[in-house]
Amino acid sequence: MKFWSEFYIPTLKESPADAEIASHQLLVRAGLVRKLSGGLYTYMPIGLRVMQKITQICREEIDRGGSVELWMPHVHPAENWEKGPRWNAAREIMFRADHAGSGKKAGAEPEFVLGPTHEEVITPLVKAEVSSYRDLPKSFYQIATKFRNEIRPRYGLMRAREFVMMDAYSFDADDEGAIKAYHKMKAAYEAFFKRVGVLAIAVEADTGVMGGSFSHEFMVPAEVGDDDVIYCEESGYAANREKATSGLVATDFVVAEPIGEIEKFATPGVTTIKGLAREPHNIPADEQFKTLVYIGDDKPFLVLLRGCDDLEEAKLGTLGFTLVRPATPDEITPLMGAKPGSLGAVKDTLKAADQLAGVFADEAIKLVGNGTTGANEDGFHLRNVNVTRDLAITGWGDFRTVKAGEPCPTCGAPLKSRRGIEVGHIFKLGTKYSECFAATYVDDQKQSHPMVMGCYGIGISRTMQAVIEQSHDKDGIIWPWAVAPFQVLIVLLDPAMEEAATLAKTLGVAAELAGADILIDDRDERPGVKFKDADLIGVPLRITIGGRGLKNGVVEVKWRHESEVVQIPVAEAASRIA
């Protein structure tokens, strides 16, 4: 039982200027977090309580999912990452953690990095620990801090630089075992999100370079989400846009259909569209696609990925793509051998640009920046290009984007699309990491095999905010019971009145015995302030004790998600609560 006057819940009337979405505003206004710097937050006392509850539910369900908890270092020797399969790409998001005395010069290779994820740590660990088929399967997880130098941290805890993740890693002797582990974990995720009280839908996702044969993302439907979910109400088919658009998925570099308006730029004859390219950081730099050719049904476009010819800029996450140079199908088709309505990815920007410039030799190709990219609006011309180089088309996507209204691939019913927040992700990894780190075991015939891995992540802090995004009204947060910082708030309208204070404690003890966490608002504040704060911090059950009510022998009970206030006799209150 906590007393508000002794606890610390700094509620605010105003939202901070940088909080664009409701859940971010409420996190701050209800006193759950305070910002240190972009993407870096302190969890204030009630924020921490919610985090601890979500963490505990997660722990219980992941335990049930067959994984064993441990704790790994968050400062990693860069060496581990150099050995791994994605150093070049992943380092873009990693904070360096060199120590001052290391003697390394600025700009030189880092000696230590802060962990954005832990495949490069767990795989060598398991290699050292496990060598026989008898010790398999094994699965380990931790619930801990992750560090990612996101280019654009935003929306509070949604995209932070330091955040809390549950990350699990499974090791099996064969594919069949790995698939079992995957499904067990998927069931654990479903149980977790259900208990937390948030609707999260498992959607098919690409495996991309992770090389696995399946992957699901758990999406909380919300307009403010960074992802698109394509789904069918008839068949239950649901996939993220990358998976649904397919075709390029094998590259882990995926282009969504152009989003946003087609804009006419100031430069006559040049059109710009905005689109999304996802996670090129997952693939080695030399395999990154830098140029895309989108051949629309009626308007073919050359699309250059902004920043991707400059790895520093490309970094990670969602990039805008830009540069659109309209051409006619006649011009493009012979070059690409592609059909209208398809999307091609080309390995090298300049080569592709050379080729296209060759095709359109009489007209300079213009690179045009858009607002998202901050590129130079004047663009620059590609001139003096050499058309004799080969254009390496590494993948042609079936770019008839699966989108709202088209046939569901399963049943043919019209597909719908909506935005979602990725709160969790599961991957069947295969042997990519175990081969890299020689994490092998010997079978009963003394034959050696790489272990078959899976990896799994839940954004704990992102989930906390997704709950708020999904469950709030104009007055504040509406916490689901299981993760509420307190489940019962007892509001004392006359805190100085002894009879009221005693009753509050009696009711508090009864509710505590019933398993709830109790907060007593004993502040010397006006009732209006107390009720406003109660709604803002979103405690599910409010019990109000006032002098007038006591005279009539009643207390007032109100659920946060209902508008009705019910009076119950004081004599019954304790037993009703229990």
Residue 199 — φ and ψ, nearest 5°? -85, 115
Residue 570 C-beta: closest distance to Mg ion, Å: 52
Residue 423 or 500: the one with the smaller Cβ distance to ligand ATP is: 423
161 is a contact residue toward Mg ion (CB under 5 A)? no
Considering only residues 372 through 431, tell me which ones interact with Mg ion, judged by CB under 5 A. 422, 425
Among 120, 354, 422, 469, binds ligand ATP (CB under 6 A): 422
The one segment of 76-84, 306-314, 422-430, 558-566 that binds ligand ATP by CB under 6 A: 422-430
CA distance 242 to 226: 13
Binding mask 103-122 for ligand ATP (x = CB under 6 A): --------------x-----
Residue 282 C-beta: closest distance to ligand ATP, Å: 9
Binding mask 214-243 for ligand ATP (x = CB under 6 A): ------------x-----------------
The one segment of 14-22, 455-463, 478-486, 494-502 that binds ligand ATP by CB under 6 A: 455-463
163 is a contact residue toward ligand ATP (CB under 6 A)? yes
Q: Can you say whether residue 476 is alpha, beta or left, with left for phi > 0 and alpha for psi between -120 and 50 degrees? A: left
Residue 353 or 455: the one with the smaller Cβ distance to Mg ion is: 455
CA distance 399 to 296: 9
Pairing of strands 518-521, 2-3: parallel
CA distance 244 to 205: 8
CA distance 101 to 294: 50
Residue 384 C-beta: closest distance to Mg ion, Å: 38
User: E strand or H helix at 145, and its extent?
Assistant: strand 138-147
462 is a contact residue toward ligand ATP (CB under 6 A)? yes
| CB-based contacts of 106, cutoff 8 Å, min separation 6 | none
The one segment of 11-19, 155-163, 261-269, 343-351 that binds ligand ATP by CB under 6 A: 155-163
Pairing of strands 291-295, 254-255: unpaired
Are 206 and 252 within 8 A, CB to CB? yes
Among 24, 425, 530, 560, binds ligand ATP (CB under 6 A): 425
Among 273, 423, 510, 577, binds ligand ATP (CB under 6 A): 423
Are 168 and 141 within 8 A, CB to CB? yes
Residue 509 — φ and ψ, nearest 5°? -65, -40
Residue 250 C-beta: closest distance to Mg ion, Å: 17
Give the type of residue at 174: D
Number of residues that bind ligand ATP (CB under 6 A): 17
Are 184 and 65 within 8 A, CB to CB? yes
The DSSP 8-state label assigned to residue 95 in this structure reads: P
Are 53 and 32 within 8 A, CB to CB? no
Among 307, 457, 495, 538, binds ligand ATP (CB under 6 A): 457
Residues that bind ligand ATP (CB under 6 A): 117, 148, 150, 159-160, 163, 165, 226, 317, 422-425, 457, 459, 461-462
